[in-house]
Amino acid sequence: MVRFRFDPMTAADWPAVQRIYQEGIATGHATFESAPPTIWEDFIKNKLARCSLVARDGNGEPVGWAVLAPVSARKVYAGVAEVSFYVAAAHRGRGAGDALLGELIRVAEAGGIWTLQSSTFPENEASIALQQKHGFRIVGRRERIGRMGHGPLAGRWRDTVLMERRSRVTGTE
């Protein structure tokens, strides 16, 4: 079994994070974004830095990343965050995403996050299955929620599957 090390994401990781993000964008089934931000500060400014991770292989090379973003500035939603996670193309199907999502959940719960949510293209069946493995459930389908601006599906309206995971560890009182 491949082992991974998880580190807090820092500006030094940005070139690898940006490359992995671009690989995900290129699939056409990862995000509505057409390109990653050009600079670290633009990427991290709306994320929960305490819940931003890089997965590294045995050689210390980044093979994936995961971040949480708050869903609202309202205090009542302080424990609700949106999940984003990406795995380098060369490492997909090797357990990196599974390990990374599991670690992100652990870090999120330790940080007081009680609900994780995601919005995933329905064509991204591997991501949906992985999230379900980690306790996410489908709560709905958002039909024609956004128009794709890049790639072979440019100009087409896309659906997303809204998924959520409620913690059994935090926010239960």
Asked if the structure places residue 103 within a domain, the reply is yes
Mean pLDDT of 135-161: 96
What would the mean pLDDT of 150-170 be, rounded to a whole number?
95
Q: What is the mean pLDDT of residues 49-78?
A: 95
The three-state secondary structure class of 46 is coil
Torsion angle, CA of 104/84/121/29, rounded to 10 degrees?
Answer: -120
Average pLDDT estimate for 32-54: 95
Host domain of residue 67: 5-166
Q: Report whether pLDDT(173) > 80.
A: no
Quick one: pLDDT band at residue 61, thresholds 50, 70, 90? very high
What is the structure's pLDDT at 152? Answer: 87
Closest by alpha carbon to 63, among 32, 103, 33, 34?
A: 103
The structural domain count of the chain equals 1
CATH number at residue 141: 3.40.630.30
Per the CB < 8 A criterion, the answer to whether 122 and 161 are in contact is yes
Q: Judge whether 172 lies within some domain.
A: no
Mean pLDDT of all residues in 131-144: 98
Q: Point out which residues pair with 58 in neighbouring strands.
A: none
User: pTM of the predicted model, to two decimals?
Assistant: 0.94
Which H or E run contains 138?
A: strand 137-147
Whether 149 is in a domain gets the answer yes
